Amino acid sequence: MEDMTHVDRTMTTQQNIKISAKDVQVYYGNNHAIKDVNVEIEDKTVTAFIGPSGCGKSTFLRCINRMNDTIDVARVTGDIRIDGEDIYDPKVDPVQLRAKVGMVFQKPNPFPKSIYDNVAYGPKIHGLARNKTDLDEIVEKSLRKAALWNEAKDRLDSPGTGLSGGQQQRLCIARAIATAPEVLLMDEPCSALDPIATAQVEELIDELRQSFSVVIVTHSMQQAARVSQKTAFFHLGNLVEYDDTDKIFTNPQDPRTESYISGRIG
């Protein structure tokens, strides 16, 4: 892990592409929710999706781990690759894909199980631990990474639903990273949290960047500016602009981006 700590913010070159999407379209029945999206997301980077609500941020995010498969009316076309492999290839099992591409949701959704079992759930179903000691270790490591270990270590057997909102969301993050994903998708992970919990989660996201490629949807521009290196601005299903975060916020190219940043649309 030590060798990863000095990844440079500006060191973003072409060979680091983790996810690449080409001509992605998503339809919900007749509703064309994502139109012609092309984007390349880098490894070991936090990428933020911003845009007014209903513009398709979540929809696009859910394409990356094929969570849209669970919605009957949703239809995805185009080409999305992770490490060069087409994830919509018929040979790809979404179950395997989702182990690699973890997801954290808007509202904390811990399972009605103990804290320990919440975190151990993924490793158990994917068979990541050979024995109980292994599993204990994974649970501890994940909780530590999610900055929850100190608060939770004495109550691993109590239900996850008994934690506070911020703790629950960090538990969900611990749960997601316990399966050792390569990409972590987060859909407005702080929108249900108070400012203090938000700050904790944001701090956490910055640390997670060392191990994963993180994609975060947020409706807060300040948050995007704080945590991300790259930002994508969506509007009415189109990817309007995608660039370094600094650039998007200081010198947007598209007038729509500019109006959104300055608060005129949204």
Ligand X SMILES: Nc1ncnc2c1ncn2[C@@H]1O[C@H](COP(=O)(O)OP(=O)(O)O)[C@@H](O)[C@H]1O
From 93, 134, 137, 194, residue interacting with another protein (rule: CB under 8 A): 93
For the bound state, the minimum distance from the C-beta of residue 239 to Mg ion, rounded and expressed in Å, comes to 15
92 binds another protein (CB under 8 A): yes
Q: b/e per residue, 19-38, with b = 16+ CB within 10 A?
A: bbbeebbbeeeeeebbbebe
For the bound state, the minimum distance from the C-beta of residue 93 to ligand X, rounded and expressed in Å, comes to 23
CB 227 within 8 A of CB 48: yes
3 binds another protein (CB under 8 A): no
**Using CB under 6 A as the criterion, which residues of the chain lie in contact with ligand X when the complex forms?**
28, 31, 33, 51, 53-59, 71, 73
From 24, 33, 39, 103, residue interacting with another protein (rule: CB under 8 A): 103
Q: Of 13-72, which residues contact another protein (CB under 8 A)?
A: 65, 67, 70, 72
230 binds another protein (CB under 8 A): no
From 35, 107, 141, 219, residue interacting with another protein (rule: CB under 8 A): 107
CB 163 within 8 A of CB 197: no
From 105, 144, 147, 191, residue interacting with another protein (rule: CB under 8 A): 105
Which residue ranges make up the site for another protein (CB under 8 A)? Answer: 65, 67, 70, 72, 82-83, 85, 87, 89, 91-93, 95-100, 102-105, 107, 109-113, 121-122, 125-127, 172, 175-176, 179
